[in-house]
Amino acid sequence: MTNNLYSLGEETEQIEFKKSTGELKEGVISMASILNKHGSGKLYFGVKNDGTVIGQEINDTTMRSVSQTIGNHLRPAVYPTITKEQYGERTVILVEFEGTQQPYLAYNVPRIRVADEDLVMEQPIYEEMMRKRDNISYSWESQRSKYKLSDIDQKIFKSYLGKAKKVGRISFENEDPADVMTKLELSDGEWLLNAGAALFVECGINELQMAKFASDERLTFTDIRRFTGPILDLADKAVQYVVDAMDWRVMFDGSLERKEIPEIPVDAIREAVINSFGHRLVESGQSVEVAIYRSFIEIYSPGKFPDGVTPEMFIREIRKPIRRNPLITRTLY
């Protein structure tokens, strides 16, 4: 039997080869280095350093491990395309990735690509990248996404527009998505910005995890669910999940119809859910979480509270909002 050898050429500043997923940690480090230098690249598992394809055993667990390791140890989050490539009888894993939120850290260390090496980034370079990223013109939500106007979920878009017009927040006569997205500053030509994609496209940018627990401790769960999709769709799912889990008391006031009173006002639940999506740190790669315990409900939004202020300050006095994602929060408003 003939067993042909294939070569993918040499490693470059944007292409990295690993013999197997046994070198997964080193692969994630290379991803951060390449992103910091070039903003995009390719990572192969099952290929020797000289480009010779040797392949490796691949199953669902293998692919999931690659995805989860990247998600857990590369910050800010990226959303790579992970596929299997066939070269004769040998199969390799190809990870294609891109990002604009430099500096990227792998295992909490920033590195940069030089030839085919991943070197620890010098402090002045790291600080300059941070200053550039913190500038609003370079923020995540203002960057062009990989989605176009044609990718907009029309049902979500029309529902949003109808609600916004009903409460008098939007008065656009033209309801064409291209015109509306331009006026909301959520597009760049035919391309949606990340904020527009997060709000109106069925994609993996947003993730919602919901669970019910048997007690007041995070031990035994009786139900668990996970969804991805547009913010407005996920918000509806989260609110309904809480509404279905709450107890409702019935009040009779002499009228023909009984009144059902929820434990927590539904409007307050929706406000909390919308805020959890609008103010979350998207680059963290973490999900918005809704947890239903026996005696309380917890809504988690990834990202720390802004520096210099505490929640108590906003409770005690009227303060100007601090918006992590101004385009998204303005649109939700």
Domains and their CATH numbers in the chain: 15-135 (3.30.950.30), 207-302 (no CATH)
Distance of alpha carbon 52 from alpha carbon 199, whole angstroms: 43
Instruction: Give pLDDT, residue 1.
Output: 38
Question: What does the pLDDT look like over 55-67, one tens digit per residue?
Answer: 999 988 999 999 9
Whole-angstrom distance, CA of residue 30 vs CA of residue 33: 5
Smallest CA-to-CA distance from 13 within 115, 99, 111 is with 115
Residue 84's pLDDT is what? 94
pTM above 0.85, yes or no: no
- For residue 288, which of 303, 277, 272 has the smallest C-alpha distance? 277
In 10 A of CB 207, how many CB atoms? 15
Q: Which residue has the tokens 């050429």?
A: 9
Residue range 145-186, pLDDT digits in tens = 999 999 999 999 999 998 888 888 888 778 899 999 999 999
Q: Check if the beta carbon of residue 212 is closer than 8 Å to that of residue 292.
A: yes
pLDDT in tens, 85-122: 999 999 999 999 998 889 999 999 999 998 888 999 98
Stronger pLDDT, 227 or 263, i.e. the higher one: 227
Average pLDDT along the chain: 88
Q: Which residues contact 142 (CB under 8 A, 6 or more apart)?
A: 136, 193, 194, 195, 327
CB-based contact 110:126 (threshold 8 Å) = yes
Note the pLDDT tens digit of each residue in 225-252: 999 999 999 999 999 999 998 887 787 7
Return the sign of the alpha-carbon dihedral for residues 145, 153, 326, 237: negative
